[in-house]
Each structure stands twice: as C-alpha cells, then as structure tokens.
C-alpha cells in the first residue's frame, strides 16, 4: 500500500441516527506521517480501525457509507487481505502473561513474515535462481531471523526481552514496556501502512520521541504510510509529523500540513500563547477553553464541530485535498503495487505451518502454568486412586456397581475439562486481536488449542483410566483395555471441544460456567444411568441418542460385558441363555437397557469423534462470525452508541463544561488530617533519598523501567514480600505500616474498581469509609461533589463502572483517592490514557489538594510544559534507579533548566521545547540515544549530582527536625484504630454496594435464575407421570434427586467462581488502604447471596416439586425448598472460599472438580451406602452434599403419613428382585441409600454447620492470603 484515498465515510447506527464519523474525506500519502488529534470520543480510534480494516462490523447494526481506497483498490476488494498491508496497534495491552517479550515478538514475526522469505530473496537476488545466489539467500534468511531482535532494540526492550510480560497478579514488565511490546508485536513484518492508537500512553516523553522518530524514519525509508493518534504529544513529537488531522465529534476540523496549521487557525482568530503546547491548543478548540485563544481579529469564529467542519471544507487546504483525491494514481506505481498486493495471501503461513506455530505457543503457555498443570495431575492421581479403591475388585455380576464405575469414569472426564474455561476466555480476547491482524486462521487457533490439550488428556486417560481398569476388576485383556482407553481419551477430547465451543458462543464466564454445567446435566441425565432408558419419555428419547456421555457409557459397557469371558451362556453355574435367551453379558446389559451388539464399541468411538469434529467446526464458525465485544473494541460497539451506555460517542470532556472553580474549605479540612512531611533515606535498591513536604507537589520521573513505580510502592508500603533497606519517615518518625496506610492514598496505574458500582457510588464509598469518622457526612458528600466536578465526572456520575472507557476509569481512580482526603497522596501515572486537557485539569485539581496542606508525590509520563510547571520539585531517576536530580523546579522550570545546562555536554533548552522532555533526553532516557545531540553518553549524571550543591541541600534538609528526625513542632501520625470508619458504617456501605452490584450483574443472577427454571422443567418433563412405586421407578426417582442435588450445587459453585475472582482484585486494592475490615467484606459477601439463592431455588422448587409428581403437602414442599436453598448456599460459599484461597480461577476449578466428583462418589447413590467400602465410610460422613441428598431423598421417599404428609414412601415396592425383601419404598430407600426421615433435622443441622465452617475458612482466606504481585 502506498496511498490511501477516502471519500465520504460515515458510520451510522440507524436506531437513533447517531454518527461516529461523518463526511470525512482525505488522502494519506506514502512516506508521510500524520498525527490525529481530538478530544476523547471524537472518533480517533474508530477512524484508525476503519482505515486498517479492524472496525468490528460483524453485528450488522453499523453501516459504512462511502469507501476507502488503497491505490485505487477498494476496501471491499481487500477486506480479507487488508491486515497484511495495514497494521493497527490498539490502545489495550493484551498479551499472554506467561510468555516473554521475545517470545511474543517471535510469534508475531513467524506469523507475519513467512511469505516474505521468498519475496525478499527474489529482491536480493535480482530474480536469479536460488541455486545461483546462495549468498543472497543466506542474507535474506539472516535478515528475517534478526527482525524480532531489531524490533526489540528499536523499542528499547532488549534489557527485558526474556522477562515474562506478567499481569495484575503476576510480576512482569513495567506498564511502559508492555505498551512497547504491543507496538512491536503489531509492527513486526513488512506493513505498508501503520495505524497507531495512543501508542505513547505510559511512556516517558523521551521514549515517546524516540519511537515516533523511528517510525518517521521508517516512513521515509520504506515509503510507509503512518497515521498515529496521540493524547499528549510534546512539541518535539508534534514537529516530527508531516500532517495533522484534527477531529471534533467525528468531523474534520483540519487536515493538512503541520507547517500550515498554525497560520490556518490564526486566520480564524485563534492564537496559541507562548508556553502552551500547540497540540494542546488544537484540542482545546471547539470547547469553552477556546475563549482564551480568541484574538478578536475574526468577527464570528467557529464554535461547534459542525461550524469548524464547514469552515474547513471552504478552505484552500481542503480544495487541495479534493484535488489529490481526484488525481489518479501513477499508472506504473499502481501496476507495481497491484501486482505486489495481489500476490500476498490472506495469511502468510499455510494452514499446517500456522497450526504448528500455535501448538508450540500453547504448549509453552501450558508448561508455564505450573499451578494448573500440577493441580490437574494431582487431581487425576487422587481421584483415580479414590475411585479405584472405592470400587476395588468388583463382582463381575454386580451390574449396578459396574455401571456406576463406568458412569463415574465418563462423568469425571466430562466435568474435569471445565477447568480450562478461564484459560480459554483469556486466550479468546487475544485471539480476537491477532485474528483481526490476520496472524492466523480461526481454524488453526481452534485446532492448536485442542491439540495442545492432547498431552493433558492422554495423561489423565492413562493414569486415571488405568487405575480404574486394572484395580476395579475390568476384564484383563490388552485389546479390551486399549478400546476402553480410546473411548475415555476421545470423550476427554470431545468435552474439551464442547467447552471450547461454549467459550466461543458466550459473552463471559458468568454465562459460560453455568451453561457448561447445564449442558453436562443434559448429557448425564439422559445417559441411561441415573434415569434408565425405559424411564425416559418417548418424546425425549432422542436426547439419549445424542448424549456423548450415553455413548461413552454404552461403549464401555458393551466392551466389558461382551468380552469373551462374559459372552457365555453359563457363568458361575447360572444358565443365562435359558434364563433370558442371551448370554450372561447380554443379560446384564439388558438390565440397563444397553444395546448388546458389539458394534456399539466402535460406534461409540465414531460418534464421539463426530462430536469432537462437530464442536470444533462450530467453534471455528463462532469465532469467525460471532465475536463479542472485547477490550480492543471500546468505543465502537453498540453499547457505545446508546445514550444509556457508558462509552459514549460524545464522551464527556474535561473542557466541555463551564469553567470549574473548586472551593476547598481549607480550614475545615485542616481539622481532618495531620500535615505530614514524607521522607525516605537510602532506600535500596539504589540508595535513593528524598522528601516531600505538605502543600507541595513532587514529581517522580525517569525513563520507562527506571524503577519509579517500584520506589513508590516501597515508600507507600505497597510492595508485598521481599525486604526493604533504608528508612521511610513521616514527620521524622519511622513510618509504621498502619500509619502509612491510614494517612496516605495511593492511585495505582491499573484502574481496578467494583464494576457494579456507579461513579458517584465509588467516590461516596471511598469518602465515607476512608475519611475520619468525626468528619460530618455533609462534608463527605461535599467532597464527592467536588471530585465529580474536578474530574468532570458529573455527566456520567450515575452510570456504572462496567464498560467505562480507559480515560473515564483513570479519572475515577484518581477521584477515589482524592475523595479519601489523605495527608499524603501517591499518584502513579495519573494522567496516562488522558488527553492533554483532562490531564491538565486533573493535575490542577491535585495541585489545589496539595495547597490545602497535603503532601503529593506523583510519577508522571509525558507531562506537557504547563502540567510540568505545576510541580514544585522533581526527583529524577536514571536507568538502574540512581538519582540524577532532586530539587525545586523553580518558576517556569528555571532552576531545573539551569542545573542541567551547566553540566558538561548538555545542549541548551530551545525556547519552544518542553523542559520535561528535554530533561529526560539529557540523561539518555528513551529507547535509543545514538542520534540525540543533547545527550553526552560519557557523562555520569548520577555521579555529578552526588557532588553537586543540590545533593548538599538535600542532605541538609534531611537533617532538619521533622524531616528525617523527630521534632516537637511536627507530631507523629498516630491512629487508635486500623480503619477510619466504624464497624456499622463499613457494614452499611459494603452491604449497599454488594446488593447494588449484584442487582446490576445480570449475566450472573439472570443466568442462574434461568438455569433454575430450565433444570426444573427438564426434570419435570422427563418425570411427568412417573411411577415411583416400582423398583426401577424408585431408583429412577432417587437418581433424579441425586442429579438434581449434585447439579444444583455444581452450577452454583462454578457460577460464583468468576464473580468472586473478579471482585477479589478490587478487594486487594481497598484492603491495602485499610478501607474496611475483611470481616465486614466477608459478611456482605455472605448476606448478598442469600436473597438470590432463595429466589432461584424457589423458582426451581415451585416448578420441579409438582411436575415430577411428588405428593407431599405444603410442609414437605417448604422443607424441600429450604434444603435445596441450603445446598446452593453451601456450594456458593465453597466457590467463594476457593476463589479467595487459590491464586487463579483455573486452579480453583480444578480443586472444585475434585471436591464435587468426590462428593458425587460418596453421596450414597453410586455406590449405594451399603456398598461403600468400610475404609471410606468416614468420607461418606464428611461429604457435605451427602447430607443434602439424604435430607431431600428422605423428604420424598422415606416419609409416610405417620410421620409426615407424603405417601410415596408408603407405596409397595413392586417388580423388585427376589433377593430384596423390603415391603415399601421407604424401607428400600432407607436401607440402600441411607436416607432416613427421622434424621432430617440432623442432616439439615449438619449442612448449616458445614456452611458456617466454610464461611469461617473463607474469612481466614480473605484475611491472610494475598496473591497480588507488584
């Protein structure tokens, strides 16, 4: 691609005629760089996604009018291949956390350069045959092999190339480094156009300059077209671009040369004053801020986006643009580029090569997920030994036990694969981004994911299957064993593919996990085991024939009973041919209505393989055609186009509202906190010392990776683990952990919040729980109101956090800490992801907070000259963490500039330059320093600082009383309680937030309510008119309760896991600030579940109980509902416990599978109570679900009118084997399944006791376990 041509493009959402982009026409030329500017919500990301072919149009609710032309090739003709020519770097940094930086780039390189190996060879060899130019071939291969390393060096990532990328709970690279990883991943390869969306967010200004400068050089050298949207470009970066495109609410206000933009807007009557970054000036236009730039030379300057667009379309610059649009592409250039573009395939790797690449990646990721792999291995061995020892050496004629073993094997492999669902969701988000970039095919991704599962499935099959087969007493025949293992292995693969399909079809884990368990219920219920085939109604029998669990059981059963050993007429003295007209094996198969033909062994394998392939095919289709809105699509989905949603097309801007004047009642606030001087002395890692005084703002700056966040974490006592050398002091006193957490606020880089709260509620929560209890409520509400005004959150104050844009979340993160009114405020990159106007507004607000007597320490990247001038002092670190400057900035940064200008080899600051950028360039920050005239690499700035007067001033200040030593004039911050708010206040706000959040989390609560109804209807339809008086009917009825008990619990357990794990992140942040006690958080989490559990179980019981034909009266129904509710509460609390106690959702699910399968084994149904080995009776006594199952079974089947109001238990037991002498259903159920009506109260009491124990364990986990890694 060498040229982009666009005519009118508008994206329209017809429901309310809302435009994202409107009447945009322009040309982006090869070899040029274009800067896209605009307020948040102006359409920058949408434009870049559209031009790069990444705009998510799958839903069909968004239409594109007009077209985009690439050297006269239409967007439609290149739709599938466009990502091969156009790279798009998204705002979000989504990566596999266990891969290293180098591995991430090497994967991108492999996926994006396979085709070019031959292409580059041809260029180097001048078209000669490969045999004639071996040197050219070797050079080409060497060049291609070096591309990932070259990219790492260009982006300054070589020092962390072998570091894992990491995540919120895993240590890894810094935020700035992760941003560069994202950039490098998408730029690898030979792209002709680069569309870059806020790629400098989180980078220091020197690194940002280096990267943009490098991209400019690539554009010049290779004829690339570079279009970049940036939020806070410094003047030096602005000058690197050839053209600038200014967007206002989806319209073009200017698109033309950078050299002409100043004159153009001056002709409209706007003048950029000295000291104001010109890019910031441009983004202020169209807002109320533009009044400060009007010179009065124009009579009616434009005000709205429409007016700016109208003025621009009448300008000579726009007319020149139109002429370029109409000018045809040079024929020779068009021919060469068309030939080149036509030769490039949609995917650079072939199907098999791409699949192999992804298999290697998946295996690498799997090998590094040690907790998950070890957990699965332990689960397999433990459950194998447990099942094998429970059913050890069964009797060959005990068909119920044998069928129970077979069922347990298939059930275990079907349920066990659900543990991979969280991993699949993480992989899906990354797949969406890489698939849109044409890294690989959807089919390759699906196949690779399932192939990488084969080693795990093979291990589980060999270990678990072998233990069961040889210890339980299956026929000792190698051929039969191989068939048995094949069926188990294929079943494992099929269910892995099934869960993969569910992940592809559902929006999130809140929906996927309950749906997964519901589907397993379908498969199990109609498998022919718990409910015999002849008990399944004719209109549902088709479910028996499509259930993979049923086919697995069928294949294993026929494999066992049709073995030569059992395929005989006479066995142990019984002539089965005479008795039943068939062999011994056929007779026992007939008892469970299993077809006896030997072909069903092979047919079961064929059917399971067919299911496997069908599920994979459907997953490929779903991933290709039904993609859910991911983090990368923020601002362009349907929800973003609706006024009632959170990511508005017209996002509230910091400068849209009237000028804000925040009146801080300084006198009142001074009574609410103690002014604190923060000092840190000889902190190792690199022996850093410094201080921050009340009423002043101190900036902590340095290049990306210099250790700014690490130092701030250490000072703020937020670094878990490790040891700290040096002293941290508050008013000259050693800072205790309690004092540091109570009197400080910490604004983290990552924006972690309770997603179910509104913006106003989040601020109110912080204000009321973190401000002292003696502060009046009215003052706290005033604080919330001031924060909303200060951060311009009023327009979205009553919208929930879930779905908010990055800049809105960043404002909220700052606001939550400001609302706490701390004595010391730490802010870690509070302006990252914000536009210049919002950044300036926030930092001016922080300055007002500081002037009220608070101490402010802030890390900051890319501050504009105006923002940088707000700071009073700067602590500057170079790579390695050594101090190169600490002192006052001075008026207009004069003191800082004078210090550096007098150092040897430092260039003089240019008048229009940004001092912050210049300062970083002086010390060699950025990603390369070879071409910077201001850098003298022979100078050690840290050594110079140690011998400077500033070091002497620092040492002298540190010796002053109240800084590094106590003083009578500065009291020690002391606190009599760990938390500011009282217990009842904590409980009130936690309960309020929990109930509101649950009410707004429809994906969780609506899903479980719907599943309760579906479960009840399934059982009701299947058992409509059932006869429980017969032996088979009684077994079927108890089996129904067994499944209902188990799956009601399993659905609840797996459903709550993703919710609890998600909430845990915000809990860690709030606990670090001593916002509330873990005990009250635990109470709120316990209470909030109860009404939803009661409601969902009420729906279930109200439908289920009468439909299946249970005849008890109201009291029995009420007890049935209560027991079902207790069962669900128990499983929910168990899920919360594992979410709190274990590091990941995957491991929690593995443990959950172990607990639930063990519970299924010892509930008393399979095996029955009287068949449980004596050595395992203790497990029967402690399994929680056993008591719920016994209570429910006793209510229905072990109750007679003498003791209750049910008459099912008193029915005569008919069609029972002659060996059974029970007179009625009650006696049979009590003896066989241990369900006694006279133990009902005891069983319910034990369930309540277990619930209490689980909650206490959950409280201990919340209190003492923390998996956050910083």
* Distance between first and last Cα of the chain: 43
- C-beta of residue 1148 within 8 angstroms of C-beta of residue 513: no
User: What average pLDDT does this structure show over 408-426?
Assistant: 89
- Residue 256, pLDDT above cutoff 90: yes
pLDDT value for 662: 38
DSSP letters along 509-557, please? Answer: HHHHHHHHHHHHHHHHHTSSSSS-GGGS-GGGHHHHHH-HHHHHHHHHH
User: What average pLDDT does this structure show over 694-707?
Assistant: 87
For residue range 1176-1222, list pLDDT tens digits in order: 888 889 889 999 999 999 998 887 765 555 678 788 788 776 667 77
DSSP 625: H
Q: In Å, how far from its chain's centre is CA 72?
A: 40
Which is higher by pLDDT, 1038 or 74? 1038
What does DSSP say about strands 225-229 and 193-197: parallel, antiparallel, or unpaired? Answer: parallel
- Residue 623, pLDDT above cutoff 90: yes
| 437-to-80, 185, 737, 1049, 1175 alpha-carbon distances in Å | 10, 10, 48, 42, 58
For residue range 562-578, list pLDDT tens digits in order: 999 888 898 888 888 88
- C-beta of residue 830 within 8 angstroms of C-beta of residue 747: yes
- C-beta of residue 529 within 8 angstroms of C-beta of residue 556: no
pLDDT > 70: what percent of the chain?
89
CB atoms closer than 10 angstroms to residue 146: 12
| 914-to-205, 277, 606, 762 alpha-carbon distances in Å | 9, 8, 70, 36
Where does 763-872 show beta strands of DSSP type E? 824-828, 855-859
- Lowest mean pLDDT, pick from 205-219, 251-265, 1247-1261: 205-219
Q: How long a stretch of residues is the chain?
A: 1270
pLDDT value for 195: 94
The b/e string for 1013-1028 (b: 16+ C-beta within 10 A; e otherwise) is ebbbebbbebbeebbb
pLDDT value for 1245: 95
Sign of CA dihedral 36, 38, 42, 45: positive
Separation between Cα atoms, residue 1075 and residue 741, nearest integer Å: 9
pLDDT value for 1189: 92
The b/e string for 424-459 (b: 16+ C-beta within 10 A; e otherwise) is bbbbbebbbbbbbbbbbbbbbbbbbbbbbbbebbee
- Residue 670, pLDDT above cutoff 70: no
Tokens for 913, please give them. Answer: 């330059």
DSSP letters along 854-896, please? Answer: -EEEEE-SS--HHHHTT-SEEEEE-TTS-EEEEEE--GGGHHH
For residue range 886-895, list pLDDT tens digits in order: 999 999 899 9
Rounded to 10 deg, the angle between the 101-113 and 351-368 helix axes is 170
What is the SS3 assignment for 122? helix
Classify domain 4-85+236-343 by CATH number: 3.40.50
pLDDT value for 768: 96
User: What average pLDDT does this structure show over 72-83?
Assistant: 80
- Residue 661, pLDDT above cutoff 60: no
Separation between Cα atoms, residue 1051 and residue 1055, nearest integer Å: 6
What is the residue-averaged pLDDT of the chain?
A: 85
In sequence order, which residues have a C-beta less than 8 Å from that of residue 420 and are 6 or more positions away? 453, 496, 499, 1146
| 1101-to-78, 1007, 1019, 1127 alpha-carbon distances in Å | 56, 17, 11, 13
For residue range 1127-1169, list pLDDT tens digits in order: 999 999 999 999 999 988 888 988 998 888 888 888 888 788 8
User: What average pLDDT does this structure show over 629-654?
Assistant: 37
In sequence order, which residues have a C-beta less than 8 Å from that of residue 78 and are 6 or more positions away? 53, 70, 85, 341
> Nearest CA to 26 among 245, 285, 228, 264?
245
The b/e string for 781-810 (b: 16+ C-beta within 10 A; e otherwise) is ebbbbbbbbbbbbebbbebbbbbbbbbbbb
pLDDT > 90: what percent of the chain?
40
Per-residue confidence band for 721, with pLDDT thresholds at 50, 70 and 90: low
For residue range 350-378, list pLDDT tens digits in order: 899 999 999 999 999 999 888 888 888 99
Per-residue confidence band for 531, with pLDDT thresholds at 50, 70 and 90: confident
- C-beta of residue 438 within 8 angstroms of C-beta of residue 81: yes
- C-beta of residue 1195 within 8 angstroms of C-beta of residue 1225: no
Question: Domain residues of the chain, as ranges?
Answer: 4-85+236-343, 94-190, 352-564+599-625, 666-761+790-959, 1023-1264
- Lowest mean pLDDT, pick from 292-306, 396-410, 752-766: 292-306
For residue range 1041-1091, list pLDDT tens digits in order: 888 888 888 889 989 998 999 899 899 999 988 999 999 999 999 999 999
Rounded to 10 deg, the angle between the 1078-1107 and 1240-1264 helix axes is 150
Q: Is the peptide bond before 771 cis (omega within 30 degrees of 0)?
A: no
How are strands ordered across the β-sheet holding 725-730? Answer: 688-692, 678-684, 725-730, 733-734
User: What average pLDDT does this structure show over 961-986?
Assistant: 88
For residue range 191-223, list pLDDT tens digits in order: 889 999 989 887 878 888 889 999 999 899 888
- Residue 958, pLDDT above cutoff 50: yes
How are strands ordered across the β-sheet holding 225-229? Answer: 86-89, 193-197, 225-229, 33-38, 243-248, 251-257
| 1234-to-531, 1038, 1168 alpha-carbon distances in Å | 20, 11, 8
pLDDT value for 235: 87
Which is higher by pLDDT, 989 or 42? 989
- Residue 862, pLDDT above cutoff 60: yes
Separation between Cα atoms, residue 192 and residue 227, nearest integer Å: 11
- Residue 720, pLDDT above cutoff 90: no
- Lowest mean pLDDT, pick from 225-229, 864-868, 1187-1191: 864-868
- Residue 884, pLDDT above cutoff 90: yes
Separation between Cα atoms, residue 47 and residue 1256, nearest integer Å: 53
For residue range 449-459, list pLDDT tens digits in order: 999 989 999 99
For residue range 1092-1109, list pLDDT tens digits in order: 999 999 999 999 999 998
666-761+790-959: same fold as 4-85+236-343? yes
Separation between Cα atoms, residue 693 and residue 912, nearest integer Å: 31
- C-beta of residue 433 within 8 angstroms of C-beta of residue 94: yes
Per-residue confidence band for 723, with pLDDT thresholds at 50, 70 and 90: confident
> Nearest CA to 209 among 1119, 988, 933, 980?
933
pLDDT value for 10: 39
pLDDT value for 927: 72
> Nearest CA to 155 among 108, 191, 205, 207?
207
Separation between Cα atoms, residue 755 and residue 1065, nearest integer Å: 11
Write down the H helix ranges in 44-174. 44-51, 101-113, 116-125, 134-154
The helix/strand count (H/E) of the chain reads as 48, 24
Check: pTM over 0.85? Answer yes or no.
no
List the beta bridge partners of residue 26. Answer: 6
Q: Which CATH superfamily is domain 666-761+790-959 in?
A: P-loop containing nucleotide triphosphate hydrolases (3.40.50.300)
User: What average pLDDT does this structure show over 23-27?
Assistant: 88
- Residue 638, pLDDT above cutoff 60: no
> Nearest CA to 686 among 543, 836, 880?
880
């Amino acid at each position: 691609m060498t040229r982009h041509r666009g005519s009118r493009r508008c994206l329209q959402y017809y429901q309310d005629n809302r435009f994202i982009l409107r009447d945009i026409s322009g040309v982006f030329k090869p070899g040029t760089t274009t800067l896209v500017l605009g307020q948040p919500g102006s359409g920058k990301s949408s434009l870049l996604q559209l031009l790069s072919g990444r705009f998510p149009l799958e839903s069909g609710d968004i239409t594109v009018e007009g077209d985009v032309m690439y050297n006269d090739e239409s967007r439609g003709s290149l739709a599938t291949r466009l990502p091969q020519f156009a790279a798009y770097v998204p705002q979000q940094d989504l990566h596999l956390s266990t891969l290293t930086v180098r591995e991430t780039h090497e994967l991108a390189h492999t996926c994006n350069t396979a085709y070019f190996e031959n292409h580059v060879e041809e260029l180097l060899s001048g078209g000669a045959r490969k045999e004639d130019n071996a040197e050219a071939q070797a050079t080409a291969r060497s060049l291609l092999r070096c591309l990932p390393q070259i990219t790492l060096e260009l982006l300054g990532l070589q020092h962390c190339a072998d570091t894992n990328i990491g995540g919120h709970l895993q240590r890894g690279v810094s935020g700035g480094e992760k941003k560069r990883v994202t950039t490098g991943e998408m730029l690898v390869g030979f792209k002709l156009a680069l569309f870059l969306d806020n790629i400098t967010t989180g980078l220091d200004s020197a690194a940002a300059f280096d990267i943009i400068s490098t991209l400019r050089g690539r554009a010049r050298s290779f004829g690339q077209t570079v279009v970049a949207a940036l939020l806070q470009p410094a003047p030096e970066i602005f000058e690197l671009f050839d053209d600038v495109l200014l967007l206002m609410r989806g319209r073009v206000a200017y698109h033309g040369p950078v050299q002409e933009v100043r004159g153009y807007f001056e002709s409209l009557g706007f003048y950029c004053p000295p000291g104001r970054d010109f890019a910031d000036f441009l983004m202020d236009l169209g807002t109320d801020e533009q009044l400060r730039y009007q010179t009065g030379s124009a009579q009616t300057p434009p005000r709205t986006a429409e007016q700016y667009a109208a003025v621009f379309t009448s300008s000579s610059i726009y007319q020149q643009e139109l002429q370029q649009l109409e000018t045809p592409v040079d024929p020779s250039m068009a021919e060469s580029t068309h030939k080149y573009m036509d030769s490039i395939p949609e995917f650079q790797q072939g199907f098999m090569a791409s699949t192999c690449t992804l298999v290697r990646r998946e295996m690498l990721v799997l090998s590094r997920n040690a907790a998950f792999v070890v957990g699965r291995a332990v689960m397999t061995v433990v459950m194998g030994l447990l099942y094998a020892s429970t059913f050890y050496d069964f009797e060959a004629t005990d068909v119920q036990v044998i069928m129970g073993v077979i069922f347990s094997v298939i059930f275990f492999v079907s349920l066990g694969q659900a543990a991979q669902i969280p991993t699949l969701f993480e992989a899906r988000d990354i797949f969406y981004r890489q698939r849109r970039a044409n890294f690989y095919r959807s089919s390759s991704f699906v196949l690779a994911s399932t192939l990488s599962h084969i080693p795990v499935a093979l291990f589980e099959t060999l270990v678990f299957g072998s233990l069961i087969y040889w210890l339980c007493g299956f026929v000792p025949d190698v051929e039969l064993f191989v068939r048995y293992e094949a069926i188990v292995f294929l079943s494992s693969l099929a269910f892995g593919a099934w869960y993969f399909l569910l992940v592809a079809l559902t929006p999130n884990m809140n929906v996927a996990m309950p749906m997964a368990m519901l589907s397993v219920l379908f498969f199990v219920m109609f498998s022919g085991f718990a409910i015999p085939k002849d008990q399944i109604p004719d209109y549902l029998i088709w479910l028996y024939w499509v259930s993979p669990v049923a086919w697995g059981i069928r294949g294993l059963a026929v494999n066992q009973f049709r073995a030569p050993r059992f395929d005989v007429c006479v066995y142990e003295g019984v002539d089965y041919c005479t008795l039943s007209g068939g062999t011994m094996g056929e007779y026992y198969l007939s008892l469970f209505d299993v077809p006896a033909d030997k072909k069903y062994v092979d047919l079961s394998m064929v059917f399971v393989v067919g299911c496997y392939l069908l599920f994979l095919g459907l997953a490929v289709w779903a991933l290709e055609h039904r993609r859910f809105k991911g983090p990368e699509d923020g601002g362009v989905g349907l929800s973003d186009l609706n006024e009632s949603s959170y990511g508005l097309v017209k996002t509230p801007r910091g400068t849209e509202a009237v000028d804000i004047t925040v009146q801080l009642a300084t006198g009142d606030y001074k009574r609410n906190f103690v002014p604190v001087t923060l000092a840190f002395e000889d902190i190792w890692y690199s022996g850093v010392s410094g201080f921050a005084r009340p009423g002043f703002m101190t900036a902590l700056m340095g290049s990306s990776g210099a250790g700014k966040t690490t130092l701030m974490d250490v000072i703020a006592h937020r670094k878990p683990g490790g040891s700290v050398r040096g002293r941290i002091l508050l008013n000259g006193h050693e800072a205790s952990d309690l004092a540091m957490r109570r009197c400080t606020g910490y604004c983290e880089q990552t924006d972690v919040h309770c997603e179910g709260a509104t913006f106003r509620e989040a601020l109110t929560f912080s204000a009321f729980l973190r401000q002292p209890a003696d502060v009046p409520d009215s003052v706290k509400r005033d604080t919330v109101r001031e924060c909303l005004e200060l951060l311009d959150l009023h327009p979205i104050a009553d919208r929930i956090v879930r779905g908010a844009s990055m800049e809105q979340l960043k404002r909220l993160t700052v606001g939550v800490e400001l609302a706490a009114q701390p004595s010391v405020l730490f802010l870690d990159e509070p302006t990252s992801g914000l536009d210049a106007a919002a950044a300036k507004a926030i930092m001016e607000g922080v300055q007002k907070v500081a002037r009220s007597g608070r101490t402010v320490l802030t890390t900051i990247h890319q501050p504009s000259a105006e923002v940088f001038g707000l700071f009073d002092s700067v602590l500057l670190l170079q790579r390695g963490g050594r101090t190169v400057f600490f002192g006052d900035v001075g008026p207009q940064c004069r003191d800082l500039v004078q210090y550096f200008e007098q150092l040897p080899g430092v260039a003089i600051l240019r008048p229009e330059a940004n001092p912050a950028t210049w300062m970083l360039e002086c010390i060699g920050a950025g990603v390369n320093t070879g071409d910077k005239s201001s850098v003298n690499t022979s100078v050690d700035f840290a050594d110079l600082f140690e011998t400077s007067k500033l070091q002497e001033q620092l040492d002298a200040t540190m010796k002053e009383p109240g800084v590094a030593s106590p003083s009578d004039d500065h009291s020690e911050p002391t606190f009599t309680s760990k938390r500011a708010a009282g217990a009842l206040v904590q409980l009130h706000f936690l309960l309020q937030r929990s109930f509101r959040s649950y009410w707004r989390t429809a994906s969780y609560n609506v899903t479980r309510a719907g599943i309760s109804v579906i479960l009840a209807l399934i059982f009701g339809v299947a058992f409509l008119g059932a006869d429980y008086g017969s032996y088979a009917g009684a077994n079927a009825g108890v089996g129904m309760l067994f499944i209902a008990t188990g799956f009601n619990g399993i659905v609840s357990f797996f459903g709550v896991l993703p919710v609890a794990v998600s909430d845990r992140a915000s809990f860690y942040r709030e606990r670090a600030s001593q916002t509330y006690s873990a005990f009250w958080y635990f109470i709120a989490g316990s209470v909030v579940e109860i009404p939803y559990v009661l409601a969902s179980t009420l729906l279930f019981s109200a439908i289920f109980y009468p439909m299946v034909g249970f005849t008890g009266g109201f009291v029995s129904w009420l007890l049935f509902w209560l027991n079902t509710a207790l069962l669900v509460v128990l499983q929910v609390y168990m899920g919360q416990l594992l979410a709190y106690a274990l590091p990941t959702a995957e491991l929690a699910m593995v443990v959950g599978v172990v607990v639930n399968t063990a519970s299924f084994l010892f509930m008393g149904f399979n095996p029955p109570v009287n068949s449980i080995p004596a050595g395992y009776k203790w497990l029967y006594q402690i399994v929680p679900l056993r008591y719920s199952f016994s209570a429910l079974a006793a209510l229905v089947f072990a109750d007679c009118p003498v003791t209750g109001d049910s008459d099912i238990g008193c029915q005569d037991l008919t069609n029972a084997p002659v060996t059974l002498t029970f007179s009625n259903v009650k006696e049979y159920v009590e003896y066989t399944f241990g369900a006694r009506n006279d133990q009902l109260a005891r069983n319910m009491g034990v369930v309540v006791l277990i619930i209490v124990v689980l909650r206490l364990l959950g409280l201990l986990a919340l209190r003492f376990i923390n998996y956050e890694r910083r």
